[in-house]
Amino acid sequence: MKEVKVMIVGFGVVGAGVARVIDLKKKQIEKQGVKISVVAVCERDGCIVDEEGIELGKLLELKYGDGIQKHAGWNKKMRAVDAIRQVACDIVVEVTPTNIEDGEPGLANIQAAFESGKHVVTSNKGPLALKFSELVEKARKAGVEFKYEATVCGGMPTFNMVKSALALNEIKSIKGILNGTTNFILSRMHETGVTFEVALKEAKEMGIAEAKPDYDIQAIDAAAKIVILGNAFMGKQLKFKDVKRVGIDKIIPEAVELAKKNGFAIKLIGEISGEDARVSPQLIPIGHPLNVGGTLNALMLDTDLAKEVIVIGRGAGQMETASAILSDVMEIAAKK
């Protein structure tokens, strides 16, 4: 049995999901010859370190009860970057929130992990959208793995699928619906004829849109994803600022209705074709495989050998995102 020691940095929805899945899938993980121990959990205001492995059931109870700050091992003096450098572990699971301004705190966390010879698995788009090539190069020099399946479209297979099932394919173009919140809003407008404002309100009430939904509405989230996809799949040197962005807040019901009458739906499409990288509303024919409804995400790759490949799935959600993170963790474990 290989023991893989993991540290979870950021214990919000995603971090707690990772702990839940490790706990829930213990037997299945052992079946694959692996034992995962969570030796540290970090939050903004402190860390829990237990080199024997933190008891996850109890931790999750606290998370959804009095807060992990009540854990017996809680150390409010320890900062995440220090824990990353000091605690002996194999993989740092970096799942702090995305910050598209300067990538922090994710960027510092990831760099600290590389500098102390630890593999990184992340769901954090910020550092990758801002400094993709630099980080990939640092990981290579440090001789560690840098995996980010969960950064693009949560539970929907992306990077690991291409690496394994499309190994020798050249990816010639990328086109997709990369944000579930805006897809929900546009799908509601298409189906019911409501205004953008009404659909957004509905999305907020259902917990699909955040109180400050700008990252989604202004296509910031989708643009960060298109940067990561273009760099990882097509060897581009894209940075976030290179992506042309048009949000969905100016779309009026009349435009949606006119599109519908002509057999189209308006979708927020992220696209790389040639030198052009953009996220903008586009007309997609109603029968087209990319035309998925609700909060679904969809990605179409045009490849040289396998031709077009389309994958559709859930772009967000606690267990969905944790599924992607654990697929990265298991890939690293398999090589250990």
- The count of residues interacting with its own copies (CB under 8 A) is 51
Q: How far is CA 26 from the centre of its chain?
A: 23
Q: Which stretch binds its own copies (CB under 8 A): 2-10, 105-113, 127-135, 295-303?
A: 295-303
- d(C-alpha 251, C-alpha 200), whole Å: 12
Angle at the Cα of 49 (from 46 to 50), degrees rounded to 5? 160
Contacts with 336 (C-beta within 8 Å, 6 or more apart), sequence order: 2, 4, 90
Contact between 283 and its own copies (CB under 8 A)? no
For residue 38, give the DSSP letter. E
Q: Measured from the CB atom, is 272 or 300 closer to its own copies?
A: 300
Contact between 28 and its own copies (CB under 8 A)? yes
Contact between 297 and its own copies (CB under 8 A)? no
Angle at the Cα of 61 (from 124 to 40), degrees rounded to 5? 50
Q: Measured from the CB atom, is 162 or 219 closer to its own copies?
A: 162
Say which of 63, 118, 225, 267 is annotated catalytic.
225
Among 7, 21, 47, 113, binds its own copies (CB under 8 A): 21
Among 108, 193, 296, 302, binds its own copies (CB under 8 A): 296
Q: Coil, strand or helix: which one is 266?
A: strand
Angle at the Cα of 321 (from 100 to 68), degrees rounded to 5? 85
Beta pairing partners, 265 = 284
- d(C-alpha 239, C-alpha 316), whole Å: 23
Q: How far is CA 204 from the centre of its chain?
A: 21
Among 1, 72, 167, 211, binds its own copies (CB under 8 A): 167
CB of 214: closest distance to its own copies in angstroms?
27
Q: Measured from the CB atom, is 276 or 304 closer to its own copies?
A: 304
Among 6, 9, 18, 29, binds its own copies (CB under 8 A): 29
Crossing angle, helix 318-335 and helix 13-24, to 10 degrees?
60
CB of 296: closest distance to its own copies in angstroms?
8
CB of 331: closest distance to its own copies in angstroms?
6
Q: Within the chain, how many helices (H) and strands (E) appear?
A: 13, 13
Contact between 164 and its own copies (CB under 8 A)? yes
Contact between 235 and its own copies (CB under 8 A)? no
Residues numbered 304-333 forming contacts with its own copies, rule: CB under 8 A: 304-314, 317, 319-320, 322-324, 326-327, 330-331
- d(C-alpha 216, C-alpha 1), whole Å: 43
Q: Sort strands 264-273 and 171-177 into parallel, antiparallel or unpaired.
A: antiparallel
Contact between 37 and its own copies (CB under 8 A)? no
- d(C-alpha 10, C-alpha 243), whole Å: 28
- From residue 127 to residue 156, the character string flagging contacts with its own copies as x (rule: CB under 8 A) and all else as - is ----------------------x----xxx
In 3D, which of 103, 68, 108 has the Cα closest to residue 92?
Answer: 108
Query: Does residue 225 have an active-site annotation?
Result: yes
Residues that bind its own copies (CB under 8 A): 21, 25, 28-29, 149, 154-161, 163-170, 286-287, 289, 291-293, 296, 298, 303-314, 317, 319-320, 322-324, 326-327, 330-331
* Active site residue ranges: 225
